[in-house]
Amino acid sequence: MIPNQSWFPTNLQDRAAWYVNFKNQFSAVAASLDLDDYVTPVGNDNLVFQFVADIHNQIKAFDDAVRQYRKIITEDNIGKPTPDFPPMPAFSLPAVIPTGLFERLNKLRTKIMAADNYTDEIGALLGILSKSSDSIAPSEVKPSIQTFAAESGYRFSVVVAGRGESDMWDVLILKKGAVTWQSVKTAVGKSVDVVITPTTAGEAEQVQVRVQLKKANQNYEQPSDIVYVTVNP
């Protein structure tokens, strides 16, 4: 089963960010709800969910890096530097949990909302309140984006199509291991160049990228799908 999208995100990385907040907030309110026994299982479920989300990113990054290696080694001219083959991702499961993480979450939400001391303020902190049907209705406008990495300088370009009636847009990135999207550029028109600060200076880095349209300085319609780009020193 999958929790209802009226309160649970549909995107893997958004779900990972949601779960971090839920775990932290639940740890703070569990005692007042007489649900202390659930704190450790929720923590373990969160550890595994973060692991799965991170490994998903690492595998996609490795796939992109291998593709880039293949392109350089086969298409570059003789005499160009030989690239290093990208390192394989390392996996280490942080905890062993029973199957049924989403079902446990759904049942715990029911218990939380039935607790004597539950309030909508607690529900809002935990992120378990259902949104109105209007807020989850599919929007008509959803931009599509392409990214193009420069050869150096931790620089990449973003090209946006399908901007509807927006008058500007934000470029958002999510670095490996991060749980919060970071706005790195606001732009108008159809393209913009972005330079990021690397996590480790001198090393190539893959980041997730998406675009949020804006209109009158407010978010406008749906964000784009997520794409990956590897930037180079």
Q: How does pLDDT run across 78-132, given as a tens digit for each residue?
A: 988 888 898 888 888 888 899 999 999 999 999 999 999 999 999 999 999 987 5
- Rounded mean pLDDT of 13-34? 93
Helix (H, G, I), strand (E, B), or coil: what is residue 211? Answer: strand
Is the domain of 27 the same as that of 105? yes
Give the number of domains in the chain.
Answer: 2
Is the domain of 112 the same as that of 37? yes
pLDDT tens-place string over residues 40-69 = 999 999 999 999 988 888 888 888 889 989
What's the N-to-C CA distance of the chain in angstroms? 43
- Length reported for the chain: 233
> Domain of 129?
12-135
Round to whole Å and give the CA distance between 209 and 173: 5
Listed residues 135, 169, 201: the one ending a domain: 135
- Report yes or no on 191 lying in a domain: yes
Is the domain of 124 the same as that of 221? no
What is residue 200's DSSP assignment?
A: S
Q: Residue 139 pLDDT more than 60?
A: no
- Report yes or no on 5 lying in a domain: no
